[in-house]
């Protein structure tokens, strides 16, 4: 009897599984909030230099009837007030009714000296207005997001190994508390440096929640329901993006918004104490007595009390003989590059993970480039993931993983690169292309998660997933930094965001198809499959000329 049979014995998909999945899924809704939060808390409102104190006698007849902006602030090529320049002295003659000027920046100007005046009609306050992160300091926005993503990367490395040592439940509880505390501290930051520190610590908790949530779901759900359950949790992240738009629309103060999306994790912290530890992990760490108690608790909740009473440590050990035997051997990250076939798989998947995350966050974290109403754009960007993930799942089941991956990355690349040639005043077309590109990248995410699981053998599957997650975090870190290259060439970020998935689309052609293939258990099995695939291709190439000659 396998462990899957034990799960069926204690209820299969019963009351416990439903409660367990719901409790684990709700925090995922708010993970999307934190990942994309800077779209709103660090939004850049319209601004211009703060007007200089006026002692000039000419001010008496214009005050209250004419805006003094025209006197102090030059206009750019779009006839809008310059954001970072002011006249060296008031230009009263510009107020003459019969005077027309096309480019006032040619006059004597200088950088802002008295600070900035911000348009607070859309945002009452943001990180940008709080610490004047504009003009010479405007790259701080991208650096802040990169620091947050660096925290996510560190958290994936640290909490991934700690969960294998101390348990999924323990690290999940800790991560909920860390995110709650650090998120609240970020809301009360007294300067930008402390804000970045707290955001880094918040980012560290994100993978501690995400990775352990999936582990506890997968390890308590029967095999037949894993795909559906995984998709169900994925949609919580999607709806979280839409939910964030509503929250940000209602709450225009960045500190209050940061506080609101962090406080629920105190509730999740309390609820997570109810969650049982993974029985699989308890067995593999030689704690069978605790595993039996957990299974009996599950049986009781599922109203299978009598079946639960039949469970003993001997029954549990015999059910997981294969897993226990596999745990006796030690595999390291070096096994991901030890053989030629595994090395090729690791390289191709790493590039796919990196480029998908890199371009995804490059689009998702730059909403202000696609229109004035970033709340509506956030809703559209989130909603497109719903059909995208559904289509990706359908295509993977009917055609295959490799074609789905190639098509998703290739179409995303074309959509992003096409925006280079679309004028900025054609906002609807630009937004449509960006939404389509993000949808394709969401499909790629859906595919690469499953593809990675199926390509790596059981003995190094977790290590392979860890490598992919790490490359995705690196992509998330680099994406905001690339945005800064627009200072040199305005279209350069789009060129880079579009080129990355194009290269990955070509490289993933070298991966084997896994549709309808059983999961490999060992590295040797992967090598043997590759050799068999080569032999079959050679035979096909030989048969074709023979067939032609026979005709």
In a domain? residue 533: no
Domain boundary among 89, 118, 147: 118
Instruction: Please state the pTM of the whole predicted model.
Output: 0.78
* DSSP per-residue letters across 67-129: -THHHH--B-TTSSB-SSEEESS--GGGG-TT---S-GGGSSEEE-SS-EEE--SS-SB-HHH
For position 193, what pLDDT does the model report? 93
Q: Do residue 52 and residue 177 come from a single domain?
A: no
Predicted confidence at residue 182, as pLDDT, reads 95
Domain shared by 167 and 305, yes or no: yes
SS3 content of the chain, % helix, strand, coil (to 5): 70, 5, 25
Residues 78 and 169 in one domain: no
CATH code where residue 190 lies: 1.20.1250.20
Could you tell me if 273 and 299 lie in one domain?
Answer: yes
CA-CA-CA-CA torsion sign (497, 499, 503, 505): positive
pLDDT digits (tens, 9 = 90+) for 405-449: 999 999 999 999 998 888 877 888 888 888 899 899 988 988 888
| Count of domains forming the chain | 3
Which residue among 294, 328, 362 closes a domain?
Answer: 328
Tell whether the model's pLDDT for residue 6 goes beyond 70.
yes
pLDDT surpasses 90 at 177: yes
From residue 337, alpha-carbon distances to 334, 346, 454, 457 in Å are 6, 7, 17, 13
Same domain assignment for residues 224 and 368: no
Shared-domain flag, residues 322 and 417: no
DSSP string, 315-384: HHHHHTHHHHHHHTS---GGGGSSSHHHHHHHHHHHHHHHHHHHHHHHHHT-GGGG-S-HHHHHHHHHHT
- Model pLDDT, residue 277: 83
176, pLDDT greater than 90: yes
pLDDT at 548 over 50: no
- Output the pLDDT for position 264: 93
- In this structure, are 351 and 251 located in the same domain? no
pLDDT at 192: 93
Domain assignment present for 539: no
pLDDT in tens, 271-281: 888 888 877 77
* Whether residue 421 sits in one domain with residue 513: yes
The answer to whether residue 39 sits within a structural domain is no
Residue 266 lies in a domain: yes
User: What local confidence, expressed as pLDDT, does residue 326 receive?
Assistant: 60
Rounded Cα–Cα distance for residues 364 and 380 (Å):
11
* H-run or E-run covering 47: strand 47-49
For residue 198, the surrounding DSSP H or E stretch is helix 192-218
Q: Tokens 């305005």 appear where?
A: 490
Please check whether residue 247 is in contact with residue 261, taking contact to mean a CB–CB distance below 8 angstroms: yes
| Burial class for 124, CB neighbours closer than 10 Å (0-12, 13-18, 19+) | middle
Question: What value does the mean pLDDT take over residues 530-534?
Answer: 72
* Domain-embedded: residue 286: yes
On whether both 89 and 61 belong to a single domain, the answer is: yes
Across the range 40-63, mean pLDDT stands at 67
Does residue 464 belong to any structural domain of this protein?
yes
**Structural domain contains residue 475:** yes
216 and 106 housed in the same domain: no
Domain assignment present for residue 531? The answer is no
Same domain for 410 and 512?
A: yes
Segments forming the whole domain that contains residue 317:
1-34+132-328
Please check whether residues 211 and 341 belong to one and the same domain.
Answer: no
């Amino acid at each position: 009897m396998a462990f899957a049979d034990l799960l069926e014995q204690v209820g299969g998909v019963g009351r416990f599984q439903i409660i367990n999945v719901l409790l684990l899924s709700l925090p995922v809704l708010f993970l999307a909030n934190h990942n994309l939060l800077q779209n709103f808390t660090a939004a850049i409102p319209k601004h211009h230099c703060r007007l200089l104190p006026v002692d000039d006698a000419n001010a008496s007849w214009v005050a209250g009837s004419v805006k003094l902006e025209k006197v102090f602030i030059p206009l750019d090529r779009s006839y809008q007030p310059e954001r970072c320049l002011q006249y060296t002295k008031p230009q009263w003659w510009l107020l003459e009714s019969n005077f027309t000027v096309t480019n006032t920046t040619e006059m004597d100007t200088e950088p802002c000296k008295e600070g900035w005046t911000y348009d607070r009609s859309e945002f009452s306050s943001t990180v940008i207005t709080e610490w004047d992160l504009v003009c010479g300091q405007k790259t701080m926005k991208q650096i802040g997001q990169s620091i947050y993503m660096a925290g996510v990367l560190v958290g994936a490395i640290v909490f991934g190994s700690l969960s294998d040592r101390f348990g999924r439940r323990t690290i999940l509880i800790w991560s909920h508390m860390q995110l709650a505390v650090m998120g609240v501290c970020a809301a009360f930051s007294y300067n930008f440096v402390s804000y970045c520190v707290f955001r880094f610590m918040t980012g560290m908790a994100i993978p501690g929640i995400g990775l352990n949530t999936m582990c506890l779901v997968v390890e308590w759900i029967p095999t037949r329901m894993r795909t559906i359950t995984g998709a169900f949790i994925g949609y919580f992240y999607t709806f979280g993006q839409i939910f964030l738009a509503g929250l940000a629309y209602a709450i225009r103060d960045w500190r209050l918004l940061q506080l609101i999306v962090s406080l629920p994790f105190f509730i999740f912290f309390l609820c997570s104490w109810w969650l049982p530890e993974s029985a699989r992990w308890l067995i593999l760490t030689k704690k069978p007595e605790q595993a039996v108690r957990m299974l009996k608790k599950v049986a009781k909740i599922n109203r299978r009390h009598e079946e639960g009473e039949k469970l003993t440590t001997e029954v549990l050990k015999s059910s997981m003989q294969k897993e226990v035997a596999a745990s006796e051997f030690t595999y390291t990250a070096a096994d991901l590059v030890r053989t030629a076939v595994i090395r090729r798989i690791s390289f191709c998947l790493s590039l796919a993970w990196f480029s998908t995350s890199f371009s995804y966050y490059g689009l998702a974290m730059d909403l202000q480039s696609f229109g004035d109403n970033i709340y509506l754009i956030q809703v559209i960007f989130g909603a497109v993931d719903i059909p995208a993930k559904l289509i990706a799942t359908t295509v993977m089941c009917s055609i295959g993983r490799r074609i789905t991956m190639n098509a998703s990355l290739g179409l995303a690349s074309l959509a992003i690169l096409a925006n280079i040639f679309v004028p900025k005043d054609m906002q609807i077309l630009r937004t449509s292309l960006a939404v389509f590109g993000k949808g394709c990248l969401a499909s790629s995410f859906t595919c690469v998660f499953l593809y990675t699981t199926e390509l790596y053998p059981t003995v190094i599957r977790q290590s392979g997933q860890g490598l992919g997650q790490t490359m995705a975090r690196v992509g998330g870190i680099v994406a905001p930094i690339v945005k800064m290259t627009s200072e040199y060439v305005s279209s350069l970020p789009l060129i880079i965001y579009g080129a990355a998935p194009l290269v990955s689309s070509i490289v993933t052609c070298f991966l084997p198809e896994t549709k309808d293939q059983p999961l490999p258990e060992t590295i040797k099995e992967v090598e043997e499959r590759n050799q068999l695939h080569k032999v079959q291709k050679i035979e096909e190439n030989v048969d074709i000329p023979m067939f032609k000659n026979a005709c």
